[in-house]
Amino acid sequence: MDRRSFLATLLAGLLLTTAAVAQVGTNNGVLNPNLASGEELATVPHINPDGAAAIVEGRPYLTATAFDAKLRELSLTDEQRAEVRTRLFVPINLNTATDEEMMLVPGVGNQMAHEFEEYRPWEGGMLRFRREIGKYVDDEEVARLEQYVFVPMDLNTASSEDMLTIPGVGDRMVHEFEEYRPYVDMAQFRREIGKYVDDNEVARLERYFVIPR
């Protein structure tokens, strides 16, 4: 193989690898309130040990708005909650998030929320998100925003690499996801995966999947 052919093959492999992990945004330090330990939660501004315990007790948070409601219960001001969300956030589903959820994403205003909606459905996952949102903001801002979003993946066809991007999912759980394919509906997913984790964790995981008809 000559050098040009080798480089073309290498580039194609890199593109395939990138595409395989493109459903959940790359996280550079934002904690997930469904997974963070009490000790991690207590490092977030305005979250004291009692607040951390209350957050753990209230799991799972299946929407960003549900988590914001918990922060309100902790008597945090609007400004304090906004600061918390920069460090602690429930990722939103780009295809189904409400306007209220999108506006909870740190730094998102009406214009960016409009762009999130404009490109629905987000087929192509994070690769498309980076391309489309990159028309409006620079690469650094795209990388910051993608920490707070995800695109649900096809439960029956998603690659193991895709599924490993789901927060809190490791090789063993990926094996269980794949073992019961094909899934006919989400009720089957809940029944089969419920053999390994509790109902709260099943509900958290379910957010990341769809079964296209």
What pLDDT does 22 receive? 54
**Number of Cβ atoms within 10 Å of the Cβ of 121:** 12
Which two three-digit tokens encode residue 182?
């094909």
Q: What is the DSSP letter of 201?
A: H
Nearest to 89 by CA among 97, 79, 101: 101
Instruction: Return d(Cα 18, Cα 14) in angstroms, integer.
Output: 6
Instruction: Return d(Cα 105, Cα 165) in angstroms, integer.
Output: 20
Q: Are 85 and 106 in contact (CB under 8 A)?
A: yes
Tell me: the pLDDT tens digits for 159-206? 999 999 999 999 999 999 999 999 999 999 999 999 999 999 999 999
Tell me: the pLDDT tens digits for 146-162? 999 999 999 999 999 99
Which residues make Cβ contacts (< 8 Å) with residue 121, sequence separation at least 6?
95
Burial class (CB in 10 A: 0-12, 13-18, 19+), 203: middle
Q: What is the mean pLDDT of each run of 10 residues along the chain (213 residues)?
A: 40 37 80 97 96 97 98 97 98 97 98 97 92 97 96 96 95 98 98 98 97 90
